[in-house]
Chain A
Amino acid sequence: MKWSLLQHLLVAGEVNLENRPKRKPIVPSGVFGMVIFIITEVMFFSGLVSAYLIIRAGLEEWPPWGQPRLPIESTAFNTLLLIISAFAVYQSRKFLKNNLITKASQFHLGAILLGFCFLVLQGYEWVQLLQFGMTLSSSVYGALFYLIIGAHGLHVFGALVLMTYGFIHFKREKSFETISSNLLPMQILWYFVVGIWPLLYTLVYLI
């Protein structure tokens, strides 16, 4: 038994590594890396939401007296924009699978523009709130609002940068398989950024 194992190892040492059949990973490395990253992001947002829920449960009045009310309607419209952008990404992926690169790139660009609109509207909302006196240090309400919504806004910005980088790939690459595999991690990140927003909107704005 031991001798056969040794023989096997000796033979294995003689095998030319270049002639070995290439192993294909069951999941692309980019996708797996993004999944791990998203797990950490889920925990990050869970921590923020937990702190928010605990602090809020301890206060009798919410929002505290003297603090402005959050714009529910305009943010609902903003939420809609973000959800439509996720559908645009989904549609882009569908076109890409059918090798319709031009249409796929158009929908991808549409998603980027919608995401950009979301950020601009959020920024406008923040300016209004700051003018009404709601700042990071005005109350725990303001601090939590800017922390949670700001963290999400930063993620949207980061994902938009990646999506724009992906859009450049549409122009550079010719093979739709390469485009598809390169884009998938960023699209997963975009789905996460969009998917977590309704939860944050409900917790911070509605309840």
Chain B
Amino acid sequence: MSKNWFGELKNKTGITVFTVLIYFTGFPSILKACAVCFSGTEETLGAFYLTTLILIILPIAMIVGVVLWLYKKKLSSLNHSG
């Protein structure tokens, strides 16, 4: 390792931070694109947001529903036995 290893490390860290900053500030428009956003109209974007929201909420809602259903079943079985 050279004597000036601290300076090298600082340089490497600086380059990494700079790259990450550029990545997150310079490419958000590219990151926003998706395989089905082909037309770029307001309707497509609206449909994209709506379906994304549904696809996020639906599995969580179903899992919560199943857990509640099992919990209620457990409570009712405890009531019957006790």
By a beta-carbon cutoff of 8 Å, the part of chain A in contact with chain B is 24, 26-27, 35-36, 39, 42-43, 46-47, 49-51, 53-59
- For A27, the chain B residues whose CB sits under 8 A away are 70, 73
- For B77, the chain A residues whose CB sits under 8 A away are 24, 26
Q: B22-62 CB contact bits vs A (8 Å, 1 = yes)?
A: 00000000000000111101011011101110110011001
Whether A53 lies near B50 (C-beta < 8 A) is: yes
Whether B50 lies near A39 (C-beta < 8 A) is: no
Identify 13 residue pairs between A and B in the complex whose beta-carbon atoms are under 8 Å apart, listed by A's number: A26-B74, A26-B77, A35-B66, A36-B66, A39-B63, A43-B55, A46-B58, A50-B52, A53-B50, A56-B47, A57-B39, A57-B44, A58-B38
A39 in contact with B66 given A27-B73, A58-B38 (CB within 8 Å): yes
Whether A43 lies near B58 (C-beta < 8 A) is: yes
Whether A43 lies near B59 (C-beta < 8 A) is: yes
If over half of B's interface residues share one DSSP class (helix, strand or loop), that class is named, otherwise mixed; here it is helix
Whether B59 lies near A55 (C-beta < 8 A) is: no
By a beta-carbon cutoff of 8 Å, the part of chain B in contact with chain A is 36-39, 41, 43-44, 46-48, 50-52, 54-55, 58-59, 62-63, 66, 70, 73-74, 77
Assembled-state Cα–Cα distance A47/B59 (Å): 12
| Pick from A24, A36, A58: contact of B43, CB under 8 Å | A58
- For A56, the chain B residues whose CB sits under 8 A away are 47
- CB of B11 to closest CB in A, whole Å: 45
Assembled-state Cα–Cα distance A46/B62 (Å): 13
Whether A54 lies near B70 (C-beta < 8 A) is: no
Whether B36 lies near A51 (C-beta < 8 A) is: yes
Whether A26 lies near B58 (C-beta < 8 A) is: no
Whether B55 lies near A54 (C-beta < 8 A) is: no
| Pick from B47, B59, B62: contact of A53, CB under 8 Å | B47
